[in-house]
Amino acid sequence: MDYLATILLLAISTALINNMVFHFFVGNCPFIGVSRKLDTAFGMGAAVTFVTTIAALLSWLITWAVLAPGAPLTTWVWHLIRPDAKGVVDLSILNYVVYIFVIAWAVQLVEMYVRKFFPALYKAFGVFLPLITTNCVILFVCLEIMKHVPSAGDVPDPWGLDKALIYAFCAGLGFLIAIVIMAGMREEIEHCDVPKPLQGPGITLIMAGILSLAFLGFTGMDSNLAKILKPAPTPAPEIKAAPPPAS
Amino acid sequence: MKKQNYIADAWLVILLSLLFGGGLAGVQASLKPRIDANKLGDTLSQIPALVPGSTRGEKADAGEAVVYKALDAAGATTGWVIPASGQGFADRLELLIGLDATGGRITGLYVLDQKETPGLGDNITAKAWRDQYAGKATDKPIVVRKTKPEAPNEIQAITGATISSDSVTAIANAAVAKFRTDLAGGGIH
Amino acid sequence: MSNDGPTPLERFVQGIIPENPVLRQVLGICPTLAVTNTMEGAMTMTGAVLFVLACANVLISLIRGMLKPHLRILVFTLTIAAFVTVADRLLAAFMYDMSKQLGPYIPLIIVNCIIIARCEICAAKQGVWTAFSDAVGQSLGFGLALGCIATVREVLGFGTWFGKWLGWHVIPASIPTDVWSPWVIMVLPPGAFLTLGLLLGATNWMTARTKKA
């Protein structure tokens, strides 16, 4: 139950409260560029969700096994080369370079796989796949996971693979929700008389501003939910063997 | 296409990767001590303000837990500083809590990191509000009230930000209780 | 080869207003929105982009003769990612406060379309000096757009300008709060979207007027 509550809270907080587009501003280029039609917007959102999850899986595994300070695989290889070596091997400087290539590779892989085995799915969002290598949502998710991969260093809130995957999936879902809402609104605004200078990106950004105002309403939902789901483990902590207060 | 062609095509990529790898290793080796010092300094620089009478701090030997020891100019222990974190209203809160040498009284509280609502919840960083924690005895948990505090272990919540105030207090209570147990058990030196 | 296309000076000037990366090309929206609640954030971001773009442009321009067309993007990405890592570490070492404030947005420069677009459009085709002045011009244009947004957001949201570095109070703190109080909305995400949207509108409006005149 406690585990389920943690997962549910993480999911809500990622998809709604800290929405990728409205809270962290990542993925704004496709959010503005590909939100003109509802079906293409949905395709884009689905593609991002899919690739984000796969990239998160790969980057968690690579970070945990190779890149993080004191990672098992790196340490093992290092001890093969230098059996007498001491200290922690730390490859975290390579994080950014590795992530961007993991993402590019994942996108290629997913494109080939989907084209071959799920032609229907490929028709739905295949055309967007090459575009999303430079989608900030995916790199942002990888960077966020990087901060939480358990390692020899100080990690304040370590995530296992399960949490990382749920985080990534919900981050993509949040993007999907945002872009679909936006596309629905833009289809309507086609029929409106928008002042000429604001047409295109201008009015889209203003609408995004109002939407993000609406999403602000979710703030605090997680801490209140946490209270309901996890009935107060902390209040009135029992203090044993208290030393006498200082004079 | 013949196999050699791939290698021939990719020589530039391989060469660049090696060059960048070497360059980054150099950057890491030369800057890492500084970055680590910055991270530690973030906490250590707060210690004189958190524990009265101390001039500097150092990492204490506390097994798994992270605890900092506050020291005066002569090198005697004047108190402890413990980092604590947990869920706030909007995101994670990271706190530093100063305690006296016996762990019997809170001497100060500092908010290292927060993303609470600007103008409301982020008032938890205001010194006047944080100073309410100073001098509280740690044998009873602190209680947040919406009105003026009456009992000695009570503090007043920020108007319009009760959840933020509650969160800070809950995190502090839990961290202090754990620290006192560790200290009494002799796990901290 | 370097005689083709615009000269260094043209590239430099074009980057600032006529081809402004944010206001005209609507590229790099993510950092534009995320780091502009204070001037300090905006200027640090501009500095980081200037560093990465200048280094990447110069390097790409130097090796442009050896680039294979199908491996081009790979080389660009590798170069940019390496220089972004350097910029990130430098910030963490020398401007730790800013590095903490900007957080993930520094590494996100890797996927900032401005940089890869400049590598592709300018550096892969033209000489080192042209590439360098193009980088400086584009970064200044980027900085200009960020500065505009950050000015609006910081002045309305906090009542200050460069509040942390210089401590300038544009709106005196002594004004009673029932006359004017900071607009919290400007510091929050919606303020970023609204400001950029209106700024884009204003740019288009001014362009249309100049064309008519």
For chain C, the domains span: 8-208
Q: What is the mean pLDDT of residues C66-72?
A: 81
Distance from CA of C34 to the nearest CA of A (A): 6
C71 lies within 8 A of chain B by CB: yes
- Helices C72-94, A95-117: axis angle to 10 degrees equals 140
The pLDDT assigned to A246 comes to 44
| Band (A241; pLDDT cuts 50, 70, 90) | very low
CB contact under 8 A, A220 and B173: no
Q: How far apart are the first and last CA of chain C?
A: 38
**Of A92, A130, A83, nearest in space to C88 by CA:** A92
CA distance B2 to chain A (A): 23
Q: Average per-residue pLDDT in chain A? A: 84
Contacts of C75 in chain B (CB under 8 A): 12-13, 16
Cα–Cα–Cα angle for A194, A204, A10, rounded to 5 degrees: 150
**Mind listing the pLDDT tens digit for each residue in B140-163?**
888 888 888 888 888 888 887 888
| CA distance to partner chain A, nearest, from residue B127 (Å) | 24
Residue A208 has pLDDT above 60, yes or no: yes
Model pTM? 0.86
Listed ranges A25-34, A119-128, B49-58, C139-148; the one with the highest mean pLDDT: C139-148
Q: What percent of chain A has pLDDT over 70?
A: 90
Tens of pLDDT, residues A133-174: 778 899 999 999 988 888 866 677 788 899 999 999 999 999
User: What would the mean pLDDT of A215-242 be, rounded to a whole number?
Assistant: 67
Query: From CA C127, how far away is CA B102, in angstroms rounded?
Result: 69
| A236 to A241, B80, B110, B136, B177: CA distances (angstroms) | 15, 22, 22, 15, 9
- Give the closest-approach CA distance of C161 to chain A in angstroms: 23
Q: What is the mean pLDDT of residues B166-178?
A: 89
Average pLDDT score, chain B:
83
Q: Which residues of A200-210 are buried (b: 16+ CB within 10 A; e: fewer)?
A: bbbbbbbbbbe
* DSSP helix/strand/coil, B1: coil
Decide which of B64 and C137 is more confident: C137
pLDDT surpasses 50 at A239? no
What's residue A245's pLDDT?
47
- The ipTM value here is 0.87
Strands B56-59 and C168-169: unpaired
Query: What is the per-residue pLDDT across C45-67, written as a single tens digit (0 to 9) for each?
Result: 999 999 999 999 999 999 888 88
Predicted confidence (pLDDT) at residue B87 exceeds the cutoff of 60: yes
**How many other C-beta atoms can be found within 10 angstroms of the C-beta atom of residue C46?**
22
Yes or no, beta carbons of C93 and B117 under 8 Å apart: no
More confident residue, C17 or B8: C17
**Range from A205-214, C142-151, C161-170 carrying the lowest mean pLDDT:** C161-170
Which of A94, A103, C38, A199 has the alpha carbon at shortest distance from B24? Answer: A94
pLDDT at C1 over 80: no
- Chain A partners within 8 Å of B183 (Cβ): 243
pLDDT for the residue numbered C56: 94
The pLDDT of residue C4: 59
Residues of A in contact with C194 (CB under 8 A): 205-206, 209
Is A228 near chain B, with CB under 8 Å? no
Whether the predicted pLDDT of B9 surpasses 90 = no
Q: What count of other Cβ atoms lies within 10 Å of the Cβ of residue C3?
A: 8
Could B118 and C96 be called an inter-chain contact, meaning their C-beta atoms sit closer than 8 Å? Answer: no
Q: HSE, CB side, 13 Å, CA atoms: give it for residue A187.
A: 10
Q: Whose CA is closest to C194, among A210, A128, B98? A: A210
pLDDT of A232 reads 56
Which residues of chain C neighbour B42 with C-beta distances below 8 Å? 96
Q: Mean pLDDT highest for which of A116-120, A176-180, B118-122, C34-38?
A: A176-180
Does the structure show a pLDDT above 90 at C32? no
Q: What is the band of A244 on the pLDDT scale with cuts at 50, 70, 90? A: very low
Does B117 contact C96 at a Cβ distance shorter than 8 Å? no
- CA C53 to CA C133: how far, in whole Å? 10
Q: Is the pLDDT of residue B5 over 80?
A: no
